[in-house]
């Protein structure tokens, strides 16, 4: 358990793109599963499903054999105004290499569509971009990303679980830049008033304590993933010991998924979660937590730092997520940098990807913006130790080094099928098993149609 007090710097920004699992799991990254998917099918998987546009396999991408260019075009996920760590490292890159970076600030909600449109037309207008690891499988299978050529001297500083997420067939397609993971936050003062010295530590305790913590307009528990039902489902699925797919690309989430949805049903039936959460569609979770309406919450960037700035010292507490039947897990999203296969300035773009993901850049990002480092060694750095509470650093490093992820093809379509059925179950329109079996059948048919199983 950690209770935060205000610091001189505005830190505590959480974040990442994997699953933190507190035990030795059986999850494996299927790094060869892109083999055998036809070009047309692969392009369709990447997020654009217009049947009238067959796209391209990327066979005519630039060779990348040019001498080092003096400028590149970088598509950033959102405005640099809200991404000061990346902005600071771009300035360092320009100063140290002499290569200028033209930044195209693309809203997060539009970035994947923008990139897909560009690459389906084999356009060279973008050289590099940053985005989440879960886009990789579809982008790589479509032939749209260039292997970065980063050796063990660069990649060995990251945990193996993270390296596995960004490599296919032994080649690295994304350099991990920074982490954005969730955390379990609670109102320390309120819990003490209710007679609890610490927050719930297991699913059972969430149910038991949650009933006492709820009342008088306050919810006992909420999740800030509430408008992302699949993310929430996956987090709790891993806590239950499950996973979406096995190593043969076969869906395998029904049994443990039933446990998850039954847990959600108990939260709702006992009035532990807020009204409206039955569909995971209620917004403003962070606002309501800071306003004192929730006792405990699964947080998301930047709720921790915001609560620290608005609450009195000692009120905000943080702990590892309550343990499910098999593990403690939180859904993570690692942002990384990839290079377009159609770039005509690949050498400069690859150098950019390398520079932005060195230990020095990872440390600088954490100091400037508070984004958790994806390099474990950074947490031992004297400057980092001086800026952050040691307990927080210990948790961040533990989460990073014990993280596991699952990268799967046709992510938009798979998530749509899951969302449709999960929502029906949470609204009480379907029994959990029936809903998940329907999702299973739809996803299995999708993977059969595109030749993955």
Tokens at 140, concatenated: 């790589």
Q: Is residue 167 part of a domain?
A: yes
Distance CA 79, CA 200 (A): 37
Q: Is residue 17 part of a domain?
A: no
274: CATH: 3.40.190.10
Q: Are residues 167 and 114 in the same domain?
A: yes
Q: Are residues 135 and 219 in the same domain?
A: no
Q: Are residues 297 and 424 in the same domain?
A: yes
Q: Is residue 27 part of a domain?
A: no
Q: Is residue 2 part of a domain?
A: no
Distance CA 4, CA 162 (A): 28
- Is residue 372 within 8 A of residue 93, CB to CB? The reply is no
The residue segments making up the domain with residue 201 are 183-329+410-453
Q: Are residues 204 and 74 in the same domain?
A: no
Q: Is residue 369 part of a domain?
A: yes
Q: Are residues 66 and 198 in the same domain?
A: no
Q: Are residues 301 and 219 in the same domain?
A: yes
pLDDT of the residue at 25? 37
Among residues 387, 404, 421, the one where a domain terminates is 404
pLDDT of the residue at 24? 38
Q: Are residues 300 and 434 in the same domain?
A: yes
Domain count, the chain: 2
Q: Are residues 293 and 367 in the same domain?
A: no
pLDDT tens-digit map of 46-58: 554 433 333 333 3
Q: Is residue 34 part of a domain?
A: no
CA of 183: how far to CAs of 1, 15, 301, 318, 420, in Å?
Answer: 12, 9, 9, 7, 26
CA of 277: how far to CAs of 190, 201, 344, 415, 425, in Å?
Answer: 22, 21, 48, 19, 12
pLDDT tens-digit map of 95-112: 999 999 999 999 988 999
pLDDT of the residue at 55? 32
DSSP H stretches of helix in 156-215: 160-165, 188-193, 203-213
Q: Are residues 353 and 416 in the same domain?
A: no
CA of 80: how far to CAs of 83, 88, 350, 436, in Å?
Answer: 4, 9, 21, 40
pLDDT of the residue at 281? 66
Q: Are residues 108 and 139 in the same domain?
A: yes
Q: Are residues 234 and 348 in the same domain?
A: no
Ranges of residues in the chain with a pLDDT under 70 are 1-66, 181-182, 225-227, 279, 281-283, 300-302, 305, 331-333, 391, 404
Q: Are residues 354 and 398 in the same domain?
A: yes
Q: Is residue 22 part of a domain?
A: no
Task: Write the burial class of residue 429 (CB in 10 Å: 0-12 exposed, 13-18 middle, 19+ buried).
Answer: exposed
């Amino acid at each position: 358990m950690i209770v935060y007090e205000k610091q001189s710097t505005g830190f505590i920004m959480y974040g990442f793109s994997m699953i933190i699992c507190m035990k030795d799991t059986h999850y494996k990254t299927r790094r060869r599963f892109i083999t055998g998917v036809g070009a047309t099918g692969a392009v369709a998987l990447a997020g654009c499903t217009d049947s009238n546009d067959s796209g391209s396999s990327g066979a005519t991408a630039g060779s990348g054999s040019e001498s080092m260019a003096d400028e590149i075009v970088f598509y950033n996920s959102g405005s640099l105004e809200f991404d000061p760590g990346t902005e600071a490292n771009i300035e360092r890159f320009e100063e140290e290499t002499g290569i200028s970076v033209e930044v195209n600030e693309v809203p997060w909600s539009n970035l994947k569509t923008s990139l897909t449109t560009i690459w389906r037309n084999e356009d060279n207008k973008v050289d590099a971009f940053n985005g989440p690891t879960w886009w990789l499988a579809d982008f790589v299978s479509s032939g749209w990303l260039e292997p970065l050529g980063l050796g063990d001297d660069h990649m060995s500083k990251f945990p193996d679980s993270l390296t596995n997420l960004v490599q296919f067939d032994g080649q690295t397609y994304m350099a991990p830049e920074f982490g954005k993971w969730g955390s379990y936050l609670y109102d320390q003062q309120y819990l003490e008033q209710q007679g609890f010295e610490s927050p719930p530590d297991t699913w059972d305790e969430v149910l038991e304590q949650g009933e006492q913590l709820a009342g008088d307009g306050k919810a006992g528990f909420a999740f800030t993933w509430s408008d992302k039902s699949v993310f929430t489902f996956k987090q709790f699925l891993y806590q239950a010991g499950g996973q979406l797919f096995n190593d043969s690309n076969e869906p395998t989430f029904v049994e443990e998924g039933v446990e998850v949805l039954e847990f959600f049903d108990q939260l709702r039936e006992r009035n532990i979660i807020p009204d409206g959460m039955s569909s995971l569609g209620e917004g403003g979770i962070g606002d309501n937590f800071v306003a004192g309406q929730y006792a405990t919450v699964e947080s998301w960037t930047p709720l921790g730092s915001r609560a620290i700035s608005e609450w009195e010292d000692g009120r905000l507490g943080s702990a590892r997520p309550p343990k499910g039947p098999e593990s403690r897990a939180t859904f993570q999203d690692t942002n990384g940098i990839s290079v377009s296969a159609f770039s005509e300035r690949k050498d400069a773009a690859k150098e950019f990807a390398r520079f932005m993901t060195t230990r020095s850049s990872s440390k600088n990002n954490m100091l400037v913006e508070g984004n958790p480092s994806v390099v474990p060694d950074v947490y031992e750095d004297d400057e980092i130790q001086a800026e952050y509470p040691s307990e927080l650093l210990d948790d961040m490093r533990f989460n990073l080094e014990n993280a596991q992820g699952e990268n799967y093809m046709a992510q938009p379509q798979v998530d749509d099928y899951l969302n449709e059925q999960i929502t029906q179950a949470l609204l009480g329109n379907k029994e959990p098993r029936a809903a998940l079996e329907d999702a299973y059948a739809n996803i299995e048919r999708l993977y059969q149609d595109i030749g993955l199983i």
